[in-house]
Amino acid sequence: MAIKAGTYSFDENTGKIQVYTFKEGMLSTVAHDLLLDVTRFKVDLNIPSDDLSSATINVTIPANALKVVCAMKNGQQQNDTLKEKDKSEIEEATNNDVLHSEKYPTISFQSTGVGKNNVGYHTTGELTLHGVTNTIEFDCELTVESILKGSVDLMQKEYGIKPYKALLGALKVKNNITIAFSFPLK
């Protein structure tokens, strides 16, 4: 299945971007992996022709737009594990101590190349996060329901981010995080 030529725009009402974080440390058995929603974003996908070489993807996310959905255990959502107070404290720490969203208010991505591969599509581009710009690559696929889905793994330290830790490091968030997205092309 191929993406039809055209211009597509997505936001939090027409698509989904989620962030997965993972725990580690001596006290990780009492901690939680987390699922966070990106509550505000703008994605522009421009495919001028069947030739993907001129396709562009631009993404803008306010750095303070992460909201804790729930804890995760063995890849499954644990909707009743965290109280609202816990979620609020995690969100505050994410904004103030991890992303420093007042100093670095915007996360952005601009593609530099889009092409077909055996999965569906391969994208290369520049991600700016926490004031640091790095080249990233990721694959995505177009489902039979015409939903463009994919994910990318990032290492926080490559963006000058110190992964969150507590209790003198006995409890901490791993360096790697996963960002997943889905956009219906209808």
Report the pLDDT averaged over residues 58-63: 98
Beta bridge partners of 107: 61
pLDDT at 171: 66
The residue type at 116: K
Report the pLDDT averaged over residues 86-97: 92
Between 86 and 15, residue with greater pLDDT: 15
**Is a pLDDT exceeding 60 seen at residue 169?**
no
Between 55 and 186, residue with greater pLDDT: 55
CATH number of 6-184: 2.40.128.110
pLDDT at 172: 77
H runs (alpha helix) in 57-170? 84-93
Convert 157-186 to b/e letters by CB count within 10 Å (16 or more is b). eebebebbeeeeeebbbbeebebebbbebe
Between 99 and 25, residue with greater pLDDT: 99
CA-CA distance, 119 to 11, in Å (whole number)?
25
pLDDT at 61: 98
Using pLDDT thresholds of 50, 70 and 90, give the confidence band for residue 114.
very high
Percent over 70 (pLDDT), the chain: 93
* Mean pLDDT of the chain, nearest integer: 90
CB-based contact 183:147 (threshold 8 Å) = yes
Question: What are the tens digits of pLDDT across the range 141-154?
Answer: 999 999 999 999 99
pLDDT at 119: 84
Q: Where are the domains of the chain?
A: 6-184
pLDDT at 4: 87
Question: What are the tens digits of pLDDT across the range 23-40?
Answer: 876 655 657 889 999 999
pLDDT at 170: 54
